[in-house]
Chain A
Amino acid sequence: MSFYEEEDAIGKVYDTRIASRLLSYLKPYRLQVALSLLMMFAVAGLELVPTLLVRYAIDEQILQGRTDQLGTLSLVFLGALIGIFVLRFAQMYLMWWVGQRFMVDLRMQLFTHIQRMSVAFFDRNPVGRLVTRLTGDVQQIEMVISQGVVQILTNVLMVGAIIVALYYLDWRLALIMTAFLVPLVYLVRIFAAAQRQAFRDQRMWMARINAYLNELITGVSIIQLFNRQRRNMEYFDLRNRGAFEANMRVLFWYAVFEPTVVIFNSVSLTAILWVGGARSLDESLTVGTLFAFIQFMQRFFWPIRELSERYTMLQGAMASAERIFGVLDEPEEVLDAEDARELEDVKGDIRFDHVHFAYNPGNWVLKDLDFTIPAGQKVAIVGATGAGKSTMMALLSRFYDLQQGEIRVDGVPIRELRQRWLRRHVGVMLQDPWVVSDTVEENIRLRDPSISTEQIRLAAEAVGAHSFIERLPDGYQTVLAERGANLSTGQKQLIALARVAAFNPSIVLVMDEATASIDPETEEIIQRGLDRVMAGRTAIIIAHRLNTIRAVDRILVLHLGELVEDGSHEELIALGGIYARLYELQYQVQAAS
């Protein structure tokens, strides 16, 4: 999974382009955001009230020996507290609401976009990476919006409000106080830079630990079999130690930050007592004001401290946003033509018209493939690994677009057909049967509501899957485990076969390789099911082993992306080419001993 990626370790704190793009997601909720902002201002103002009330009480009541207004003051105090509570709650809840909406929107947009990507995209991006985009990365940004922004803005506003209050109370003393701000901001910046570097190291090492751990755990039996625990632990220790050292550097910057704030705090307190106190003595500054200064300066450093803590959060969110936008910016490679159409009825004629294809420009995987398969014919594709067999199949489903030539179904080029429509009519039995953790029934219909329970049953019966499904604890309603762990490979293949049958395509493509490690009995059932699925349809079957080619009308032999032989079994044997040689070999194996 992608939290092991080292790329994750690097991230900017602020990037205008990314930030403004993120902001555009908030547009539908601008009213809520604006209201929340307004309330933040009100909160910042209200939070000054208690201190100002205490000041007034000291100067106008206590020092004057009066208590007549204390009751009123206390009531105002209480009112301010209630106001703070209501506003803070409302404002936080509102931003939380916005954050959740944002999360739903962004995640859905991302998911939809991923669904539209062509298969080439999935070749490039490992599953784990995309899963992280959809979960962790979205979450990270959501957190900043529903919590981070509120905290950061409240803190900034608080500092601003305090400065205003200081100047209002006494501008000369306020000037001294704000003078402290300059070195403080400077110091915070130095800390932030150093911390950022330390954090980056820390995350990089964690990513390395993760990657290595993943390998250790998945390969644990190999490690044990080859007695490599000690050696692998040494490698692990290198990474663990690296992380530890990076951790200690992070710790240093944490540990040094708090004392710095304490010292700044005391310097400002000293200045207030000394300068302000002296002015109190000559009565140009009231004791209440002096005390309010002390109180405000206490509050002053809080937000600054918190700001530095939010820094990591922001940094993480920016990096997440960048990665998410990276995915969103991937263009759709295989697009429906504007006037894409659907055919009334599919006969199943297939024509490869001088097809050239390369995954990477210049590196042809298929060269000038040119052949026709009439409707209803059953064709086997034979060739060594890398000959281009599965590529050919993928092209017929239009998982990729051709560089040259044309593939036609019933005489219509497939790029003029709607992709989804085409795929509904080209049934594929994949090498690795895909199973979701849902009921057997849903696994057969792939959650497509247009396929009835009756159709599912018929399909299962047709391919010979019915009897084993019936024997499952809840029959068709049995929920399969993650990756079908409660089924054998053979059973998964039977479900995949039933799926093909249920979707009732006109053209069937079968990738045969996966049957390699299945026992003969199950193999027999699968073969029978395959026959049923192929019956009456145009079928193309990739046979990795010659012995799985059965009942085909015709054999196409691919060699290094070119069609080199084409004909029936007898014709190709008579031809004495590649196929004959492969066949001979196989035969010898069986004849031996």
Chain B
Amino acid sequence: MIDRATARDLVAALRREFDEAFAEARVTELVEPEALLEVTCGQTHYAFRLTEISGLLVDVAITPVASPMPELRGIAGVRGANVPVYDFAALLGHPPDPQARWVVLAGGTTPVGLAFARLNRHVKIRRDAITGQNVAAAPQHVGELVDLPNGARPVVSIASLVDEIGRRVRAHRHRE
């Protein structure tokens, strides 16, 4: 249990760290770090690059629509535009997760939302921590692995998922 003095010290440390971040001289890192988001779909943890998304939403209202694609959760209004939201777990081959409350907006020209159940953390790692080795048996849309302190995580390619969505949409349109 934390006593009152410890809590007061913790707050002071936070304030000091925040202030010192602006007091220190700017240092340009030699290797630009990579920002990742670690999420959980079903029982599996995944990561994807922050540079592949254009926004992160939570508890956004999703309006279900009739669609032959079971992975389509519905339409969400984001910044004045209607964005289709797909189930991240279903696209990766897991059962659809109706409790998914987090939505990331895929970057690129096509506005697409991907819904998942839990956002674990936002991490910055060195680029060399992401490797393309030992991914032969990895699931579809996973081309790399990232070594995080709590274990290796498959890195999902959001662009690949968006392409997959495009292919499925076209296939359905062609079928119609």
Are A and B genuine complex partners?
no
A residues lining the B interface (CB < 8 Å): none
